[in-house]
Amino acid sequence: MTMRLWSLSAFVLALTASCGGSPQAPAAAQSQAGNTPRVSPPSAPASASSASEAEDEPIPVELRGVPAAHAPPDEKGMIGLQVLLPIPDPAPPPGFPAATTTDKECAKSIGLLGQLDKDFPAITSACGAGTGMKEYVKAVSGKIDSSHKRDSFQVKLAGGYCYRFFAAADGTISKLGFRVHRANGALHSVILGKQPLFIYRPTEPWCRRRDREFQLVVETLDGGEGRYAFGIWARPNDKGRAK
């Protein structure tokens, strides 16, 4: 039995959307000797428009290149995520860990095995706790396959935190995708993954100053069958919470 080894020497599976820019999908994995796939070096996330950042509004995504087959979030089957951190008002709660690495460096030393039970703790430890974050919601797990390709979630992101979203799946799912939708279902951003995992905003977390509701979709892009885990981590936003 051949073990899959996924390298994160420079792992960045991020899709930040910019006004007028098209989604950035991660580079394809390169096949090495012995059929051992490796993750290609990442590209830097696109920068957001200053107007959108100033208003703390979701950044519109340019939909060119996004397959029309992407179904909207399943309203009837929407899963509510359990928030673990309080709204940081008037100040963030204490107890956040000291960062042991930087945002841009956190993923470089992670080695992945294509095994959910080991890969999910590895990425959340490195780019979650390692960058001074705590769990914002209780991590959830599920199973997706060709007949049940996606799960939809609903969450309120509190202003005053900076966020990262994490997911990992069994190696039987080779392409794991992720979408962020506004509360009305409009698409905000999308990851068209080529690996059984993703980190949304790995080199620069998504910082919020106002409370916003979002709908999130975790899906298989190749019809593979297997388990997955999904979680959101957060740390205080240096700019604070908008009043």
* Among the listed residues 119, 110, 112, 109, the one whose alpha carbon sits nearest the alpha carbon of residue 5: 112
Specify the pLDDT at position 125. Answer: 96
Residue 62: inside a domain, yes or no? yes
Residue 1: inside a domain, yes or no? no
Radius of gyration of the chain (CA): 17
What token pair was written down for 23? 């989604």
Specify the pLDDT at position 114. Answer: 83
With tokens 């940081």, the residue in question is 88
Specify the pLDDT at position 57. Answer: 46
DSSP designation for 107: T
Q: Rounded CA gap, 154 and 80, in Å?
A: 5
pTM, entire model: 0.77
Q: Rounded CA gap, 74 and 59, in Å?
A: 22
Residue 242: inside a domain, yes or no? no
- All residue ranges of the chain with pLDDT < 70 are 1-71
Q: For residue 147, give the CATH number of its domain.
A: 2.60.120.380
Residue 70: inside a domain, yes or no? yes
Q: What is the pLDDT of residues 122-148, one digit of tens each?
A: 999 999 999 999 999 999 999 998 889
What token pair was written down for 73? 């979030």
Residue 243: inside a domain, yes or no? no
- What is the sign of the dihedral through the CA atoms of 207, 80, 232 and 46? negative
With tokens 């008002």, the residue in question is 89
Phi then psi for residue 34, to 5 deg, are 80, 15
Specify the pLDDT at position 70. Answer: 62
Specify the pLDDT at position 43. Answer: 31
Specify the pLDDT at position 84. Answer: 97
Domain that holds residue 141: 6-40+48-236
Residue 150: inside a domain, yes or no? yes
Domain count, the chain: 1
With tokens 């992720």, the residue in question is 178
Residue 131: inside a domain, yes or no? yes
